[in-house]
Amino acid sequence: MPRTAIWIALPVLVALLGMPPAGAGQRSPVVVLDPGHDLRANAATEPIGPGSSTRKIKDGGGTHGLVTGLREAELNLRVALRLRPLLERAGVRVVLTRTRTVGTSMGNIARARIANRAHAGLFLRIHADGSTDRTARGTHTLYPALTRGWTDDVYAASRRAARTVQSELVRALRFPDRGLQERADFTGFNWADVPVVLAELGFMTNPTEDRLLATAAYQRRAAIGLCRGTLRFLGRRPAACR
């Protein structure tokens, strides 16, 4: 090849290599899915927000099914793994904080940092609830309370996301609607620099919800509800969630 041809071909090659894969589109939003907990709890502590002297345990380990014995960490992961392809088919890039239930929980600052580094359009944390009262049941969605210096940059968008996620989750699962809850004490919220919500799908300590959430059909329902709520928040058509 003549030298001039190389000088022309080289920048073209570099440009081609740097292009996103077909269909990815440079403006595709990123959603970080955070299946709560892991195989083992983490008793180490971490500050509840940047610069805070208040520390909380990294991970108490989560709950488990009263009847089925299913671990919350495993349920959260199954729903996240069902949700990922739904979002990807809708043109959303998906990052998971974990893809297996095998280790000690990384803690909540680490989870938030994954979402921050990905510049997530939404940091979606997936959990299920537990209570000493086995009649307690229903779905609720948590989002950060307004704390100056910590969440003022993400408060309004998080609250908006919590509304769409909660309404679509309730529609999909048909569990009682426990509404939204603001939390000032969640480490994973206070360290997030991107909109963040935490969905509590239902109560694993309630025999009815435990049995249902342990089924593939209800894990799929949860994934569809989370997908629809996420896409509505991102201003995309929720009909893509199938």
**Residues 151, 183, 74, 170, Cα dihedral to 10°:** -100
Token digits of residue 226? 């989370």
Q: What are phi and psi of 226, to 5 degrees?
A: -65, -40
x/- binding map, residues 1-40, to Zn ion, per CB under 5 A? -----------------------------------x----
Closer to Zn ion by CB, 42 or 241: give it.
Answer: 42
Considering only 62, 144, 195, 238, the residue that binds Zn ion (CB under 5 A) is 62
User: Under rule CB under 5 A, how many of the chain's residues touch Zn ion?
Assistant: 3
CB of 205 to Zn ion, least distance (A): 12
Q: Are 169 and 231 in contact (CB under 8 A)?
A: no
Token digits of residue 27? 């403006």
CB of 63 to Zn ion, least distance (A): 7
195 binds Zn ion (CB under 5 A): no
SS3 state of residue 49: coil
Shortest-Cβ-distance residue relative to Zn ion: 127
127 binds Zn ion (CB under 5 A): yes
DSSP at 96 = E
Q: Are 128 and 76 in contact (CB under 8 A)?
A: yes
Listed ranges 47-55, 123-131, 149-157, 219-227: which one lies at the site for Zn ion (CB under 5 A): 123-131
Closer to Zn ion by CB, 36 or 121: give it.
Answer: 36
CB of 198 to Zn ion, least distance (A): 8
Q: Which helix (H) or strand (E) holds 177?
A: strand 177-183
Closer to Zn ion by CB, 36 or 238: give it.
Answer: 36
Q: Are 120 and 188 in contact (CB under 8 A)?
A: no
Listed ranges 11-19, 55-63, 117-125, 216-224: which one lies at the site for Zn ion (CB under 5 A): 55-63
Token digits of residue 127? 């959990």
CB of 127 to Zn ion, least distance (A): 3
61 binds Zn ion (CB under 5 A): no
CB of 8 to Zn ion, least distance (A): 57
Which residues sit opposite 56 in a β-bridge? 46
DSSP at 21 = P
CA distance 216 to 112: 28
Q: Is the dihedral of CA 237, 156, 161, 164 positive or negative?
A: negative
CB of 105 to Zn ion, least distance (A): 10
Listed ranges 39-47, 102-110, 122-130, 133-141: which one lies at the site for Zn ion (CB under 5 A): 122-130
Site residues, Zn ion (CB under 5 A): 36, 62, 127
